[in-house]
Amino acid sequence: MNEILNLNPKCIWKNFYALTQVPRPSGHLEKIQQFLLDFGKQAGVEVFKDPAGNIVMRKPASAGMENRKGVILQAHMDMVPQKTPESTHNFETDPIQPWIDGEWVKAKGTTLGADNGIGVAAIMAVMEDKTLKHGPIDALITADEETGMYGANDLPEGELQGDILMNLDSEHWGKFVIGSAGGIDVTATLDYQEVETDQEDAAVKVSVSGLRGGHSGLEINEGRGNANKLLVQIVREAISETEARLASWNGGNMRNAIPFKAEAVLTLPKENIAALKEMAEEWKETFNDEFKLIEPQGIEVHVEEVATPAKEVPVEIQDNLIDAIFACHDGVIRYIPAYPSVVETSSNLAIINIEGGHATIKILARSSREDMKDYVTTMLESCFSMAGMKVETSGSYGGWDPNPDSEVLHLLLKEYKELFGQDGIIQVDHAGLECSVILGKYPHLDVVSFGPTMKSPHTTSERCLIETIAPFWELLKKALEDVPVK
């Protein structure tokens, strides 16, 4: 793993490796916040934690550059905690184990945290490098981006001092993002009174696994399988054909990750277990045929006999929940008419927990149009309201409207062409970026997002393309040097 430290540019890789050794899953950021505070002090720059939990660093202009526009370098400190089924990793205490696999850096059994650790590492490199030429720089490292952009949403007005915002949270080298979708969390809940299980019944755990999962913004257009949506097809038929009853359901664990695993515990007469197992095998064949070009690694469906639970979901509640999960839209709803290859509106049926008298279903809806975001929210609310569930929304953020006349965009495109001999690509993302939230508080900012190439963020296949880090660093340094005067 120390091979990471020998990669170039060392200033970024050493900082990224240091970040991997500090636990930083969303919602548990005390250790990384202290790490960044200590780093800022050691680098000799102003550093503080704001009331939202963000870390802010300030570096004055280098000699002769005092008249340049101020730049805000922005990334988020938290990472998505996903691990393989066999992993015993504890994200709150254990370091990530990065390793080199050919041209990629990956992690052993977990997400890598290059989203957005590489951006943070680049900011750290800028803060500690005394040889760079630049105007005044603010660094904004936000808290809990992955779970609701809480750090950006609670960012105090008047805290930032720059004119230009360079967001370092994009994942395609050579593409410069100037717009992104808005999003909203939709949560449906229901409390119910459990009923006694027929103790003559047996119980099985039905699981769907082996899916690729993925980022619900960047990869929702690929049609990847959603474990919750696959499992509901099996459960619905099991209830209809084998007298099964639902005892519990657990699927997905992150609002912005396509769920790659889901499982349900069902009770049923002992004599029907064989039929259920046969049914599961048939569904496995169906799923693998349906997704053979999208999930080529193979989808697994398992039925395991387990101890019979004492209680289960009442029939009428069970049927309503299953119908709602089946009916809930998941995936792309519409593409942008003017850019038919770009997703406009989508929803991700992210998390289902049904157990112990309480049901919770969480969906992340995205759209680059506010009216369509309202539409999909109402659609989801209608679906779960018909099942008798209470539906609430939270964490709403608007889309980032593209500005093709951005001065910093054209500066980056010019320098990209001069440095690398090819044209950069202007892009609008379906994934949500904090730029829209920050612009809401600082509307004067000129904003662009860029970064090195990463694949499969929010999954255990997350990886960073080594060869893109050096040019990313060269472009960032050059852009800071050439920032226009005020």
Is 241 an annotated catalytic residue?
no
Residue 478 CA: distances (Å) to CA of 115, 168, 248:
23, 15, 55
Choose the catalytic residue: 145, 146, 171, 295.
145
Choose the catalytic residue: 78, 138, 144, 434.
78
Is 154 an annotated catalytic residue?
no
Please report, as a single letter, which amino acid is at residue 452. P
Sequence-separated (6 or more) residues with CB below 8 Å from residue 314: 192, 193, 194, 195
Angle, helices 469-481 vs 10-20, to 10°: value is 110
Residue numbers annotated as active site: 78, 145
